[in-house]
Amino acid sequence: MMVILLLAGAYVGWNIGANDTANCIGTTVGAGLLPFSRAVLIVALFAILGALLQGQHVMKTIGKGIVYQELDFLAVCVALVCSGIFVTLATFKRIPTSTSQAIVGGVVGIGLAVNAPINTTKFWTIAGSWVICPMMVMALAYALSRLIAVILARIQVSILIVQQVMGGLAILSGCYVAYSMGANNAGNAVGPISSLGLFPPIWLLALGGGAIAAGAITYGRKVADTVGKGITPLDVRGAFVAQTASAAGMHLFSLWGIPVSTSSAIVGAVVGVGLVKGARTISKKTLITILVGWVLTPCLAAVTSFTVYRLLAAVLS
């Protein structure tokens, strides 16, 4: 039973790495600053650091903050596997989706299936953050883009120097995004397991961070193209702004213990950068596809986990 639990948590963590790596380095790779092979190693390292150093806040929220009743072994496994499946499908389709939304939806579905009381205040706080975070990050990215443009217009520096400085800053901001992803999303992978009290929290966070790193290295390339090139063309400065704004937003919510969508954060930031160039530079088709995925992911995860648990419980009883 313990091995199955750990494998289920590792599966969700792998999904996070496979889908959300694009949110860390998609803009950097898209702008031509780093090859994917080198960038993904940076993601792996900083995601593990974020998980180990600050992943405990979200892990507590996912583990015991949404459903008041303690879940059993079957409920935890169903919640993890059902939420992971939808992220896997989105990754195959190259669509950046939210693992946070999937796991929250899965946990709520399980809570309803076992007739457990749901912490509606916490749930609506989390759901509200899925709207507030991308809007906040989009505004921050837009403002930061404007500010940098004003500063560069007032100082006389060669374009080459600007490109080199912005390139270095963009790589550093990618590290920050990866750290924030580990801090916010490792808890999604192992939060339900932590509620059982079977393993030390640091072991679970290490598992979550390691699984995220494995997903990034083995299958992170596909969605990176969608984020880096599919929404709006990004230059070096745009990559730096998008990554810095999204990382700041995610880190803030991580400290509050609120699981937010890494995907919605980076997409909001990329849109904010694109608005500076003009709305016509943004791919409406790609954006609509992503938004539909965000709405469907938590709903389908909740319905599926509810249905699967009820079926398995009836068969096993």
Q: What is the model's pLDDT at position 225? A: 58
Question: Which pLDDT value is given to residue 211?
Answer: 92
Q: What is the pLDDT of residue 197?
A: 82
Q: What pLDDT is stored for residue 223 in this prediction?
A: 66
Q: What is the pTM (predicted TM-score) of this model?
A: 0.77
**pLDDT of the residue at 234:** 67
**In the chain, where the domains are located:** 2-316
pLDDT at res. 51: 92
CA count, 13 A, side-chain hemisphere, 69: 16
Mean pLDDT (10-residue bins), the chain, 317 residues: 88 85 71 80 91 88 78 87 84 74 89 89 85 89 90 78 81 85 85 85 91 86 60 72 85 81 79 78 72 81 93 88
Task: For residues 163 and 169, give the distance between their C-alpha atoms in angstroms, rounded to a whole number.
Answer: 10
Helix orientation angle between 262-277 and 284-316, rounded to the nearest 10 degrees: 170
192 contacts 60 by C-beta, under 8 angstroms: no
pLDDT the model gives residue 101: 83
Tokens 């953050």 correspond to 129
Query: Looking at residue 259, what is its pLDDT?
Result: 76
Position 172 scores a pLDDT of: 87
Output the pLDDT for position 229.
55
Residues 6+ apart with CB under 8 A from 42: 24, 25, 34, 171, 174, 175, 178
